[in-house]
Structures are given as structure tokens and as C-alpha cells.
């Protein structure tokens, strides 16, 4: 049997990509069994139970953009099918928790990085990381949420665990018009928080962000230059996807006892800060890792998304493209030009 997939071949030397090719291919099913690192190939794969999924949708995340555009740091082997998200129906399962025909979603767990991923009509995954799609969502909704929305909810859970509540004060979301940011704004607003959205696109996306629930907008340029390590405390909590000087400024503006969830590096991987906000204001910096999230956290986050994310707002932040279109959309997500979430209909 054969299936369609995006396929990336790349050669990396001393951390630099010296050869890169990404294209739509028709592959034999055996590709999923033969590749080292893949679930079906793993000795002891039965421990976690390999599950074969007929994929309907994947998504375009920032990381998928990096992999498709030939940037280093995502692909851990080559060749590889990219795609860190997969949504579809169980075809066969060695994991007793899943039965053929069930609608399921998988985010991360090495898909599209060290294992063949979801930008394909078929994928084999670990049952341990697989989640049944909550009744509140269609398969398209689950893909629209994808890793970005799942990560946004992990960040919201981190704020809650840090003791942040709607009564604590204002919260900030950076990179607000992107995937993680859009879902974070919508969920926080629905939970009753007063949400300030930081964006570089206030002019074009201001109405969109207000519709998602942002009560105030800030220009991301205000956070771009390294400022003093302690500034006026403004935020009871924050969700940051930008990193670099932006995250340092967010931490510097965190109020006493605030929690800041660090999710991303769209603006840089460095963090030019000092210990002062931590030892003088008791600020907590919570790291978010969606890829390796344990099963209990995955199930909790998806269950909270079902209760705390308005599907009508999710629809307003979603664009759907075909499998081959993902190749050209990769550069646009890296340039920060894509609004909200992009679903990839792998059968289109
Ligand atoms: N930790 C995890 O498990 C995890 C999971 C998912 C994603 N991430 C990371 O989170 C980040 C966002 O992912 P995403 O899927 O939401 O990507 P995305 O849709 O491209 O959103 C990123 C947003 O960041 C802003 N931005 C982009 N470049 C910037 C720059 N140079 N300086 C300041 N702001 C910039 C833009 O927002 P505005 O236009 O509104 O300014 C952009 O829309 C990425 O770094 C991704 O790798 C991490």
C-alpha cells in the first residue's frame, strides 16, 4: 500500500544545513516500519503500543516551518516525514486503550523530529502519547488547536499552578497574533483574565485580537530592546513565545509573585536577564515543553481545552491548506506573517 507524504532530505555539517530538499512524495507503507527510530521499528514498541493512524489533518507549526524551510535544529534524522501534529482515525492498535475507528490527536512526542510525522496520510505513533479527541471538537478543530493550542493550554496550567488567577491582575501574551498566542489570548479571556496582547501587527490584527478577548494591545517593539532588569511591575502572569530581550523585559515587568511561562524563541534563544526579578519579586519562570509532556498532562490539557476554548473563536483563527501548500507556507510562518492557526488537510 502507498500513501502521500511530505518528505524532507537534508544534510547537516557542523550545525549548518548544507543540502535540503522537501517535496510531496508517494511512499510505500513499509517506510513507516523500516526507519530506525520509528515506533513500529522500536524494540519493545509493544510496551507503549504502536498505533497506526489514517491521518486526516496535520498543522503548520513554527517548528514545521523550520523543518520544511531547511533550518537546522528540528530534524534529528534524514530523510524524514515532517509534521509535529497528527489527527485522524485509528487503523490498527497494539495498545489496548485504542480501537480501530477512534478519532485521535497526537502532538509532539518526537513526530516530525526524530520519528516520521503527521504531514502524511499515514503515521505510526506511541499509544502512550495519543489522546482521544474530546467530544467538544471535530477532527478539524483538534488540528486547529494542534501543538500550538496544546502548548498554550500547558502555559495556562503553569500560570494556575503558580497561583495566578483572574483576580491577581493583568496578564500578558506575547507573539499574540501567532498560533500559541492566539489560543492563549482566547483561553485566558474566557477564563476571566484581563489580557494584554503584545503584537507587531496591531494595525492589521488589532480587531482580530480584540475579538479573541484581548482588552489592551501593546506594540512588540516596546519589548525588543534590553531594558533594566527590574521595571515597574505590571503583570500577574505572562505567556511568552518570543524569548530573547522580549522575555527579559516581560520578567522585569512581572509583579510580585507572578509566573511567566516561557514557550518559545520566535525572537531568539538567549535570555539577557539577572536574578533580581526572582529574588526581589519572587517571580517564577515556568518552562513549557509540549513534546515530552507526560500522558496525564496531555489528557488534562485536552480536557481543559474542551471546556475553556470557544470553538467559534477557534474557527476565526483557522485557515486550511492542502498538503503540498505547506511547502510554500513554511517561509511565511517563519517570517511571522501567518495569523492564528494553519490546518493542513493531508488528503487535499
Ligand atoms: N515549548 C513548546 O513546547 C512549544 C510548542 C509550540 C511552539 N513553541 C514555540 O513557540 C513559538 C511560537 O510558535 P507558534 O507556532 O505560535 O508560531 P507562530 O504562529 O509563527 O507565532 C509566533 C509569533 O511570534 C511573533 N514573532 C515572530 N517573530 C518575532 C520576532 N522576531 N520578534 C518578536 N516577535 C516575533 C509574531 O507575533 P505578532 O505578529 O503578534 O507579533 C508571530 O506570529 C516558536 O518559537 C515555537 O517554536 C514551543
Domains of the chain: 2-132+317-345 (3.90.180.10), 146-287 (3.40.50.720)
Predicted confidence (pLDDT) per residue in 228-272, tens digit:
999 999 999 999 999 999 999 999 999 999 999 999 999 999 999
Gap between the terminal Cα atoms of the chain: 19
Contact 310, 186 (CB under 8 A): yes
Q: Is the CB of 241 under 6 A from ligand 1?
A: yes
Report, as an integer, the average pLDDT of 312-322: 97
Label residue 40 by pLDDT band (50, 70, 90).
low
Residue whose Cα lies nearest atom 9 of ligand 1: it is 264
Instruction: Choose which residue among 109, 153, 175 to substitute to test ligand 1 binding: the one with the highest number of ligand atoms within 8 A of its C-beta.
Output: 175
Predicted confidence (pLDDT) per residue in 204-234, tens digit:
999 999 999 999 999 999 999 989 999 999 9
Q: Is the CB of 342 under 6 A from ligand 1?
A: no
Residue whose Cα lies nearest atom 8 of ligand 1: it is 264
Report, as an integer, the average pLDDT of 170-191: 98
Q: Is the CB of 293 under 6 A from ligand 1?
A: no
Q: Is the CB of 336 under 6 A from ligand 1?
A: yes
CA 36 – ligand 1 centroid, Å: 31
pTM: 0.96
Q: What distance in Å separates the CA atoms of residue 72 and residue 334, rounded to the nearest whole number?
A: 13
Q: What distance in Å separates the CA atoms of residue 88 and residue 100, rounded to the nearest whole number?
A: 11
CA of 223, closest atom in ligand 1 = 33
Predicted confidence (pLDDT) per residue in 276-310, tens digit:
999 999 999 999 999 999 999 999 999 999 999 99
CA 266 – ligand 1 centroid, Å: 5
CA 99 – ligand 1 centroid, Å: 35
CA 264 – ligand 1 centroid, Å: 6
Look at residue 41 and tell me whether its pLDDT is greater than 80: no
Q: What distance in Å separates the CA atoms of residue 59 and residue 73, rounded to the nearest whole number?
A: 19
Sign of CA dihedral 273, 268, 285, 205: positive
Q: Is the CB of 266 under 6 A from ligand 1?
A: yes
CA of 205, closest atom in ligand 1 = 40
Instruction: Choose which residue among 67, 180, 220, 344 to substitute to test ligand 1 binding: the one with the highest number of ligand atoms within 8 A of its C-beta.
Output: 180
With pLDDT > 70 as the criterion, what percentage of the chain qualifies? Answer: 96
Label residue 14 by pLDDT band (50, 70, 90).
confident
Q: Is the CB of 333 under 6 A from ligand 1?
A: yes
Instruction: Classify each residue of 57-87 as buried b or exposed e, where b means 16 or more C-beta atoms within 10 Å of its C-beta.
Output: bbbbbbbbbbbbbbbeebbeeebbbbbbbbb
196 beta partners:
172, 216
CA 101 – ligand 1 centroid, Å: 34
Contact 252, 231 (CB under 8 A): yes
10 Å CB burial of residue 224 (0-12, 13-18, 19+) is middle
Q: Is the CB of 339 under 6 A from ligand 1?
A: no
Predicted confidence (pLDDT) per residue in 65-122, tens digit:
999 999 999 999 999 999 999 999 999 999 999 999 999 999 999 999 999 999 999 9
10 Å CB burial of residue 342 (0-12, 13-18, 19+) is buried
Amino acid at each position: 500500500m502507498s500513501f502521500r507524504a511530505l518528505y524532507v532530505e537534508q544534510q547537516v555539517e557542523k550545525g549548518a544545513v548544507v543540502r535540503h530538499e522537501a517535496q510531496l512524495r508517494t511512499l510505500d507503507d513499509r517506510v513507516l516500519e523500516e526507519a530506525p527510530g520509528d515506533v513500529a521499528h522500536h524494540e519493545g514498541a509493544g510496551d507503549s503500543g504502536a498505533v497506526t493512524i489514517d491521518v486526516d489533518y496535520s498543522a503548520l507549526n513554527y517548528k514545521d516551518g523550520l523543518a520544511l524551510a531547511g533550518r537546522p535544529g528540528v530534524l534529528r534524522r534524514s530523510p524524514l516525514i515532517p509534521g509535529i501534529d497528527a489527527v485522524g482515525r485509528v487503523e490498527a492498535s497494539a495498545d489496548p486503550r485504542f480501537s480501530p475507528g477512534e478519532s485521535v490527536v497526537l502532538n509532539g512526542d518526537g513526530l516530525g523530529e526524530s520519528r516520521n510525522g503527521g504531514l502524511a496520510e499515514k503515521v505510526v505513533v506511541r499509544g502512550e502519547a495519543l489522546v482521544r479527541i474530546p467530544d467538544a471538537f471535530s477532527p478539524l478543530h483538534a488540528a486547529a488547536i494542534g501543538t500550538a493550542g496544546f502548548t498554550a493550554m500547558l502555559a495556562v496550567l503553569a500560570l494556575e499552578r503558580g497561583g495566578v488567577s483572574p483576580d491577581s491582575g493583568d496578564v500578558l501574551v506575547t507573539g499574540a497574533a501567532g498560533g500559541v498566542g492566539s489560543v492563549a489570548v482566547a483561553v485566558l479571556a474566557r477564563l476571566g483574565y484581563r489580557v494584554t496582547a503584545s503584537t507587531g501587527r496591531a494595525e492589521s490584527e488589532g480587531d482580530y485580537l480584540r475579538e479573541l478577548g484581548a482588552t489592551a494591545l501593546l506594540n512588540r517593539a516596546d519589548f525588543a530592546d534590553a531594558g533594566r532588569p527590574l521595571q515597574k511591575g505590571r503583570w500577574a502572569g505572562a505567556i511568552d513565545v518570543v524569548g530573547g530581550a522580549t522575555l527579559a523585559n516581560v520578567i522585569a515587568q512581572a509583579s510580585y509573585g507572578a509566573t511567566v511561562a516561557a514557550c518559545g524563541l520566535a525572537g531568539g534563544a538567549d535570555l539577557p536577564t539577572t536574578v533580581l526579578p526572582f529574588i526581589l519579586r519572587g517571580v517564577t519562570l515556568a518552562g513549557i515543553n509540549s513534546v515530552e509532556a507526560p500522558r496525564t498532562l496531555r489528557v488534562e490539557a485536552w480536557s481543559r481545552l474542551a471546556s475553556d476554548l470557544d470553538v467559534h473563536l477557534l474557527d476565526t483563527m483557522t485557515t486550511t491548506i492542502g498538503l503540498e501548500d505547506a511547502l510554500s507556507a513554511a517561509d511565511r510562518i517563519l517570517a511571522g506573517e501567518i495569523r492564528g492557526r494553519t490546518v493542513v488537510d493531508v488528503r487535499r
